[in-house]
Amino acid sequence: MSKSCSFPKTALSRSVMLASVVVSGTLIAPNLASAQSGPAALEEVVVTATKRSTSVQDVPIAITVMTSETLENAGVNDILALERVAPSFNINTSDSATGGVVLRVRGVGTTGNNIGFESSVGVFVDGFYRPRPGGVLGDLVDIERIELLRGPQGTLFGRNTSAGALVIHTKRPDLERFGYFGNLTTGNYDLGAGQVGVNMPLIEDTLALKVTGSIRKRDGFIDGGFGGDNISRDRSSVRADMLWNAEEAGELRVTAGYGEGDDKCCLAVWRNDSQFLLDNVLPYVDPELGLGENAGVPPDLVGRDALDDSKAVDDFYRNPSRGWGITVEYNVETPLGDLTYLGGYNEGFADSERADYTQNAIYSVGDTPAGRALNPERDYKSMNGTETEAYSHEIRLNGLAFNDRLDWMVGAYYGYEELDQKYTLQFEEEMQIGWSIGAFGQPTWNELNFVSGGVDAVSDFGSPHASQESETWSIFTHNVFSVTDKLDVTLGLRYVKEEKDGSMQEQVDGQHNACFASFENLENSIPFYSVTPGLSLGRLGAAITTNCWVFTAPFYDPDDPDDFFVPYATNPATAWLVDFMPRPFDEKFEDEELTYTVNGTYHLNDNTNVYASFTHGFKSGGFNLDVSSGAGGDDPRFDSETVDAFEVGLKTDFWENRARVNMAIFYQDFEDFQVLEYDGTRFQTFNVPKTKSQGVEVESTVQFTESFGMNLGITYTDAEHPSDCSTFNPNASDFSSQILPLCGAPLTNSSEWVGVLSANYYQPVFDGNWAFFAYGSARYESERRTSTLPTERPNVAGLTTEAEVRAAVDAAVPLPGDIQDSNTKVDLRFGLTMLEHKVSIEVWGNNVFDERTKFNTFNIPLRGFTGDRARGQFVQEPRTYGLTLRKDF
């Protein structure tokens, strides 16, 4: 309980915005109208700590608080830029602007562009849980503050917060005065953006309405191989926010918003090509085979030059999206305590339309120009896209007892989410010859065409349809007891039950001519592969599974006696080939868990607190909703993830409250950590038995004068799968060759050292009518891994001893380009403000020294062999700069 904060315990003083807070390293900008030289104390920041209004320095949980001033100074316009001001936070996107968003806290996050995978960092907007982080990628408009909670937060925040929570608070409508704001921004890459808002008291002190809107357009900074640009921005949004103060009847806030986007995203830059193909195959490709010069990749589109110049091999990638939602919060004082209700509903749609990362016409995904050109009669629009629907209800009651020494809270939560994903993947003109060269190394003989008996694969397509319904129920309690005037003890409990129904099927009868013909031609193919020198039945399997690539293949349903594959599945000689076909499934997943937290806080004095806590967290398992997940009869489900977290912290203000230092030491032990891996052919999910994250965070703020202050945040994180993360004994029941490459490896995109240094300067000029301001920040990160796996999978087939397996793992080929080197990025902003009219003009630059870095690296499909694959990389933003004109209330 707070010792330096004495806000009245009323429902109206308790914001219902979600948080569980300890401030760290956020500079609170002084009021420009009163800026002057001289000593200045740091302003007190009040947050809804543990869902109660409390000073940030009195709440014993590690968090970074970013105010609206901090976000404006740092040029943070969406959540992708938050890592500029939060050293313990990392965010990246992979092959989808909406579906491939990964949030990490303390090095921990759930990698993947699979809709069945849920984030381990929960995102909350005005109290409403947003199941998919991609749904909040629009502009951050009219933000009051953002709170990044570090460590598991399941006791108060519920599901999918095993690594942390990102809590976004928008500014509430003002009941007393009319006002407005607006800003316009222009910049390089033809950036044009604007935000506007108006606040209207409809009934003074009783009812107010605020309406805000934003639009952002920017060309892409990646140049495609055929001249187009990519990784662009084209987003807009509008939000209406109503606040009604009904006095003794309570307070009601209703917010509704709509947003849409049409980004071009996300082309990848090639890190390297397959050396074997370059040396032994591509120089001898016969142009008459149809590929010609496109068989090779121009040198300026590969390697460091391509990264520095932002050049990609492919050209087409698009991510249209839209969504709307409504949230309701109601607060009222009752004889039993303060009652709060939170409810919300959200719908969204997103699609991903792309080619194959090469400059060949091999395959395309979704509603693409190439697909429409080949099949103008096909209704691609209805067969592609991911639709989401989610709603939730939370009710809680909070009060005081035992002479105000016990601050108690009880509550209940229900959440529902429905996912529906459809897409098409289609082979194009150069599929068979392109794959034959890229995957078999045969420049003059079309092996795939031979296997299919001469049947062409052009226009063959698959149309998977994945769906999932999930329900979550929980009850919780959170209690803070003041044992003495200096010692507080906190106990929180939450019981969670998860139920999910997942299914996979083919939405329409696809076209599978080459696949069916390949099986029908088996009688001719098997003898040929058996007797021809240099060939094998393994090559036959590779050829057939290419014509029947799992993403385009027909489904094999073993429960259907009339299924095409039944005769081949029942024949021992060919059954192994059927195992590569996708299978429909309709399964259930259920789990339950008791999460809890125990915390002790000791107030050394009015300005210094120390605390120690233990938290048990939980993240639900579920379904791999990729078409390949059920192939071979595999179980598409993965297990739930749990974490035991220990934390010790110190928070102190000193130097007459002009300096603040917050420190946390943490250890987090995960069991059954969830991993998604793309192995070049299919997406697979699995649970790593042991994963850990430990380290130290120090974040500080110093306000030297009213005009000048600095922040410094440093995070050391050792996040890894330990060397004993899985058994190396091939005879053990839990042996897994998938997991072995991870044992001893750091987690993806987790740097050991991250530091953020920033400085803010305000100074009145021109007789105090204007103010000059300057902001600068630098973010340093040490090297980090960028792949799911650090090496190619070791070949452990036939090994019988642990020593043999360890030797095979040690000999596995490191994946090229896996390491992103250490780097420092600098942001600058300068401006002038006309104080009386609150108009400012700002010149800014982000990543001003143009550091070129990457998020993720991956194997280019169809390009090379195990140990010698072409590799792509999704890259981060280059230098951007521009001008902003701002008008405030």
Q: How far does Cα 25 stand from its chain's mean position? A: 24
Query: Does residue 703 carry a pLDDT above 70?
Result: yes
Tens digit of each residue's pLDDT (9 = 90 or more) over 47-59: 665 677 677 788 8
Reading phi first (left if > 0) and then psi (alpha if -120 to 50, else beta), residue 190 is in left
Tens digit of each residue's pLDDT (9 = 90 or more) over 296-340: 678 888 999 999 999 998 888 889 999 999 999 999 999 999 999
Type of residue at 320: P
Which of 262-266, 287-291, 775-779 has the lowest average pLDDT? Answer: 287-291
Give me the pLDDT at residue 24, please: 37
Tens digit of each residue's pLDDT (9 = 90 or more) over 816-834: 999 999 999 999 999 999 9
Type of residue at 271: R
Give me the pLDDT at residue 530, please: 72
Give me the pLDDT at residue 87, please: 96
Q: What are the structural domain ranges in the chain?
A: 32-508+584-887
Instruction: Tell me the torsion sign for CA atoms 677, 122, 479, 604.
Output: positive
Which has more confidence, 433 or 65? 65
The label of the residue with tokens 């499909």 reads 861
Average predicted confidence (pLDDT) for the chain: 89
- Provide mean pLDDT across the span 212-221: 97
Give me the pLDDT at residue 566, please: 96
Query: Does residue 446 carry a pLDDT above 80?
Result: no
Which of 19-33, 93-107, 140-154 has the lowest average pLDDT? Answer: 19-33
The label of the residue with tokens 């300067």 reads 761
In sequence order, what are the residues at sequence separation of 6 or more whose Cβ sits closer than 8 angstroms to the Cβ of residue 20?
49, 50, 51, 59, 61, 63, 149, 153, 156, 157, 165
Q: Which residues does residue 613 pair with via DSSP β-bridges, in sequence order?
A: 599, 647
Element at 850 (helix H, strand E): none
Tens digit of each residue's pLDDT (9 = 90 or more) over 267-308: 999 999 988 888 877 777 766 655 555 566 788 889 999 999
Closest CA to 104 of 751, 615, 815: 751
Q: Which two tokens stand for residue 152?
A: 């598991």
Give me the pLDDT at residue 757, please: 98
Tens digit of each residue's pLDDT (9 = 90 or more) over 355-390: 888 877 889 999 999 899 999 999 999 999 999 999
Alpha helices in 670-764 (DSSP H): none
Q: Residue 605 class from Cβ within 10 Å (0-12 exposed, 13-18 middle, 19+ buried)?
A: exposed
d(CA 857, CA 873): 4
d(CA 708, CA 760): 6
Instruction: Give CATH superfamily name and number for 32-508+584-887.
Output: TonB-dependent receptor, beta-barrel domain (2.40.170.20)
Give me the pLDDT at residue 201, please: 97
Confidence of residue 813 (pLDDT cuts 50, 70, 90): confident
Type of residue at 561: P
Query: Does residue 30 carry a pLDDT above 70?
Result: no
Q: Which two tokens stand for residue 848?
A: 């001003």
| HSE of 22, CA atoms in CB hemisphere, 13 A | 31
d(CA 444, CA 440): 11
Type of residue at 595: T
Confidence of residue 532 (pLDDT cuts 50, 70, 90): low
Query: Does residue 226 carry a pLDDT above 90?
Result: no
Q: Report the DSSP pairing between strands 164-170 and 121-125.
A: parallel
Q: Is the bond leading into 265 cis (omega within 30 degrees of zero)?
A: no
- Provide mean pLDDT across the span 860-871: 82
What percentage of the chain exceeds 70 in pLDDT?
Answer: 91
Query: Contact at 8 Å (CB) between 658 and 672?
Result: no
* Percentage helix, strand, coil for the chain under 3-state DSSP, each rounded to 5: 15, 45, 40
- Cα radius of gyration (the chain): 28
Confidence of residue 450 (pLDDT cuts 50, 70, 90): confident
Give me the pLDDT at residue 271, please: 94
Which has more confidence, 34 or 798? 798
d(CA 45, CA 23): 8
Neighbours of 586 (CB within 10 A): 10
Give me the pLDDT at residue 293, please: 55
Give phi and psi for 655, each to the nearest 5: 50, 55
Closest CA to 166 of 125, 131, 137: 125
Q: Which two tokens stand for residue 207?
A: 């009812």
Q: Residue 404 class from Cβ within 10 Å (0-12 exposed, 13-18 middle, 19+ buried)?
A: exposed
